[in-house]
Amino acid sequence: MVAPLRGWKVRVVIPALNEEPSLGQVLRALPEDQVSSIHVADNGSTDRTAEIAAGLGARVVHESRKGYGSACLAALEDVRSVIEHPENEIVVFLDGDFSDDPSCLPILIAPLIQGDVDLVLGNRAHRGITKGALTPQQRFGNRLATLLIRLIHGVKYQDLGPFRALRWETLEQMKMQDPDFGWTVEMQIKAARMNLRVREIDLPYRPRIGTSKISGTLKGSFQAGVKIMSWVLRDLWAGPRNQT
């Protein structure tokens, strides 16, 4: 059963670069009655990504700077332009490749609505995900980064997945800045530093539809790995938590 929203508005942010084959499925699978607006950040797509998004009622934000984080930052500026009561706003991040199951959104936001936690993360590091959905290098990179964060902060993360939710006000406090692959780890490191209450929830995950851009390519995995580790090492250098 879907829990009532109790006055919360839910804004869904989807960075999308050439996701024509999958984006329509992502948007159709989102539970309409739970979502107030969808913000698709079209990152210079050369296919029909923007057209599909607009046709299905999403707000399309154009961002010419490449990179996952740049797309998210552009979409968040658009979220800012529609919110009325910042204290009643939830932001959900979701990829446009249909790897995550958008119909799980109510599971992700429920702990925020109940006020139990500050950041909810869809966890892919469990046996229930579709075989081959995460590459070995993704599993290794996630394990290493989460182990180091645990050693530095004592916070037990299992994954750095993209499907996540938090309150707008929390997100504002984080002052997110990473323009590309470091977006998810930046958010988790900042959550640890801010002593936020975090919950990871096991969710389904399947191989993407369309062309792989990061994890399925050697170059993309390498760049993402370097970026993620640079965040972790910078954090280690910065010293103990609570010193943002």
Ligand X SMILES: Nc1nc2c(ncn2[C@@H]2O[C@H](COP(=O)(O)OP(=O)(O)OP(=O)(O)O)[C@@H](O)[C@H]2O)c(=O)[nH]1
Q: Give the binding site for ligand X (CB under 6 A).
A: 15-17, 19, 43, 66-68, 71, 95-97, 99, 208, 212-216
Joined tokens for residue 158: 């299992």
Cβ at position 136, least distance to Mg ion in Å = 16
Rule CB under 5 A: say whether 118 interacts with Mg ion.
no
Nearer to ligand X, 130 or 195 (CB): 130
Which SS3 state, helix, strand or coil, does residue 62 take?
A: strand
**Residue 99 binds Mg ion, judged by CB under 5 A:** yes
Residue 153: CB minimum distance to Mg ion, A = 27
Shortest Å distance, C-beta 237 to ligand X: 26
235 contacts 146 by C-beta, under 8 angstroms? no
DSSP string, 120-188: EEEE--STTSPTTSS-HHHHHHHHHHHHHHHHHH--------S-EEEEHHHHHHHT----STTHHHHHH
Residue 97 in contact with Mg ion, rule: CB under 5 A: yes
The Cα 189–Cα 229 span in angstroms is 12
- Minimal distance in Å, beta carbon 104 to Mg ion? 16
Look at residue 204 and give its three-state secondary structure: coil
56 binds, among ligand X, Mg ion, none (CB under 5 to 8 A by kind): none
Segment interacting with Mg ion, rule: CB under 5 A, options 23-31, 123-131, 200-208, 223-231: 200-208
Considering the complex, state which of residue 69 and residue 111 has its C-beta at the smaller distance from ligand X.
69
Q: In Å, how far are 90, 106, 153, 184 from 36, measured between CA atoms?
A: 10, 13, 35, 23
Residues 223 and 181 sit within 8 Å (Cβ to Cβ): yes
Using the minimum distance from each CB to ligand X, give the nearer residue, 70 or 196.
70
CB of 35 to ligand X, least distance (A): 17
Please identify, using beta-carbon distances, which residue of 67 and 122 lies nearer to ligand X: 67
Question: Exposure of 237 by Cβ count < 10 A (0-12 exposed, 13-18 middle, 19+ buried)?
Answer: exposed
Residues in contact with Mg ion by the rule CB under 5 A = 95, 97, 99, 208
